[in-house]
Structure 1
Amino acid sequence: MPDVVITGLGVTSAIGQGKEAFMRALVAGEHRFDFMQRPGRQDGNTQFIGAEITNFSCADVIAKSQLRTASLSAQIALTTLYEAWGEACLDEVDPARTGLIVGGNNVQQRELLITQEKYRKKSQFLSPAYGLSFLDTDLCGLCSAAFGIQGFAYTLGGASASGQLAVINAVEAVESGRVDICIALGAMMDISYWECHGLRGLGAMGSDRYLSSPELACRPFDRQHDGFIYGENCAALVIERAETRPNASLRPYAKVVGKGVYMDANRQPNPSLNGEITVIRQALREAKIVAEQVDYVNPHGTGSVVGDEIELQALTECGLSHAAINTTKSITGHGLTAAGAVEITATLLQMREGILHPTRNLENPIDNNFAWVGNEAEESDIQTSLCMSMGFGGINTALCLRNSETN
Structure 2
Amino acid sequence: MDIFVTGLGCISPLGFNTEQNLARLRAEKDGLVRSEYLESAYKDKKFFGEVKMNTPTLLDQLDLADRKGLTRSDALAFAAFNEAVRHAQLKKEEIESVDTAFISASTVGGMCLTDELYRDANLNTDTSEYTESYNCAAHTLRIVEEYQLKGISNTINTACSSSANAVMMGMKLIRSGRVKRAVVGGVDSLAKYTVNGFNALQILSDDKCRPFDKGRDGLNLGEGAAYLVLESEEVCNDKVKFARVLGAGNTNDAYHTSSMSETADGVIACIQAALSDAGLTQDKVDYINAHGTGTQNNDQVELTGFRAVFEAIPPFSSTKSYTGHTLGAAGALEAIYSILGLMHNEIYPSLRVSELIDGFNAQPVATYTSNTEINTVLSNSYGFGGNCTSLLFGRP
Note whether the superposition's TM-score is higher than 0.5: yes
How many residue pairs end up in the alignment?
388
1:398 aligned to which of 386, 390, 393: 390
- 8 Å Cα contact 1:189/1:337 also seen in 2: no
Partner of 2:374: 382
- 8 Å Cα contact 2:72/2:112 also seen in 1: no
1:228: Cα distance to partner?
Answer: 1.1
Cα distance in 2, alignment partners of residues 320 and 14 from structure 1: 35
Cα distance in 1, alignment partners of residues 370 and 303 from structure 2: 21
Q: Which runs of 4+ in 1 moved over 6 A?
A: 118-121
Query: Structure 1 residue 13 and structure 2 residue 12: aligned?
Result: yes
Partner of 1:40: 39
Cα distance in 1, alignment partners of residues 343 and 42 from structure 2: 43
SS of 2:41's equivalent in the other structure is coil
Cα distance in 2, alignment partners of residues 48 and 372 from structure 1: 25
Q: How does 1:276-355 map to 2 (within 5 A)?
A: 276-319=267-310, 321-355=312-346
Cα distance in 1, alignment partners of residues 291 and 368 from structure 2: 20
1:36: Cα distance to partner?
Answer: 2.1
- CA separation of 1:239 and 1:191: change in aligned 2, threshold 3 A: same
Partner of 1:214: none
1:260: Cα distance to partner?
Answer: 0.7
- 8 Å Cα contact 1:182/1:240 also seen in 2: yes
Query: Structure 1 residue 264 and structure 2 residue 253: aligned?
Result: yes
Q: How does 1:110-189 map to 2 (within 5 A)?
A: 110-114=112-116, 116=118, 123-124=125-126, 126-127=127-128, 129-189=129-189
User: What code does the residue aligned with 1:220 have?
Assistant: P
1:122: Cα distance to partner?
Answer: 5.4
Q: How does 1:21-60 map to 2 (within 5 A)?
A: 21-42=20-41, 47-55=45-53, 57-60=58-61
1:321: Cα distance to partner?
Answer: 4.0
Cα distance in 2, alignment partners of residues 106 and 34 from structure 1: 20
Q: What CA deviation, in whole Å up to 9, does each residue of 1:331-375 have, x standing for no partner?
A: 111101111111001000111112111221111121663353213
- 8 Å Cα contact 1:236/1:341 also seen in 2: yes
- 8 Å Cα contact 1:27/1:358 also seen in 2: no
SS of 1:323's equivalent in the other structure is coil
1:389: Cα distance to partner?
Answer: 0.7
SS of 2:101's equivalent in the other structure is strand
User: What code does the residue aligned with 1:331 have?
Assistant: Y
Query: 115-124 or 368-377, which moves further after superposition?
Result: 115-124
1:117: Cα distance to partner?
Answer: 5.1
Cα distance in 2, alignment partners of residues 111 and 320 from structure 1: 47
- 8 Å Cα contact 1:174/1:180 also seen in 2: yes
Query: Structure 1 residue 86 and structure 2 residue 86: aligned?
Result: yes
1:24: Cα distance to partner?
Answer: 0.4
TM-score normalised to structure 1 length = 0.89
- 8 Å Cα contact 1:28/1:357 also seen in 2: no
Unaligned stretches of 5+ in structure 2? none
1:135: Cα distance to partner?
Answer: 2.1
- 8 Å Cα contact 1:199/1:205 also seen in 2: yes
- 8 Å Cα contact 2:160/2:327 also seen in 1: yes
1:26: Cα distance to partner?
Answer: 0.7
- 8 Å Cα contact 2:266/2:388 also seen in 1: yes
Cα distance in 2, alignment partners of residues 5 and 345 from structure 1: 13
Cα distance in 2, alignment partners of residues 25 and 394 from structure 1: 31
- CA separation of 1:322 and 1:394: change in aligned 2, threshold 3 A: closer
Cα distance in 1, alignment partners of residues 45 and 282 from structure 2: 43
- CA separation of 1:163 and 1:156: change in aligned 2, threshold 3 A: same
TM-score normalised to structure 2 length = 0.92
Cα distance in 2, alignment partners of residues 317 and 138 from structure 1: 40
Q: What CA deviation, in whole Å up to 9, does each residue of 1:296-330 have, x standing for no partner?
A: 00110000101101101101111164411111101
Query: 156-165 or 235-244, which moves further after superposition?
Result: 235-244
Cα distance in 2, alignment partners of residues 121 and 168 from structure 1: 40
Query: Structure 1 residue 102 and structure 2 residue 104: aligned?
Result: yes
Cα distance in 2, alignment partners of residues 236 and 374 from structure 1: 27
Cα distance in 1, alignment partners of residues 347 and 249 from structure 2: 24
Provide the alpha-carbon RMSD of the alignment. 2.1
Query: 336-345 or 31-40, which moves further after superposition?
Result: 31-40
User: What code does the residue aligned with 2:13 have?
Assistant: A
Cα distance in 1, alignment partners of residues 33 and 119 from structure 2: 26
- CA separation of 1:371 and 1:322: change in aligned 2, threshold 3 A: farther
1:280: Cα distance to partner?
Answer: 0.9
- CA separation of 1:48 and 1:59: change in aligned 2, threshold 3 A: same
Cα distance in 2, alignment partners of residues 226 and 323 from structure 1: 25
Cα distance in 1, alignment partners of residues 42 and 300 from structure 2: 32
SS of 1:64's equivalent in the other structure is coil
1:245: Cα distance to partner?
Answer: 3.1
- CA separation of 1:224 and 1:144: change in aligned 2, threshold 3 A: same
1:40: Cα distance to partner?
Answer: 2.2
- CA separation of 1:320 and 1:370: change in aligned 2, threshold 3 A: farther
Cα distance in 2, alignment partners of residues 190 and 391 from structure 1: 17
Cα distance in 2, alignment partners of residues 158 and 122 from structure 1: 31
- CA separation of 1:55 and 1:265: change in aligned 2, threshold 3 A: closer
- 8 Å Cα contact 1:325/1:370 also seen in 2: no
SS of 1:9's equivalent in the other structure is strand
- 8 Å Cα contact 1:294/1:384 also seen in 2: yes
SS of 1:251's equivalent in the other structure is coil
Cα distance in 1, alignment partners of residues 326 and 164 from structure 2: 12
1:288: Cα distance to partner?
Answer: 1.4
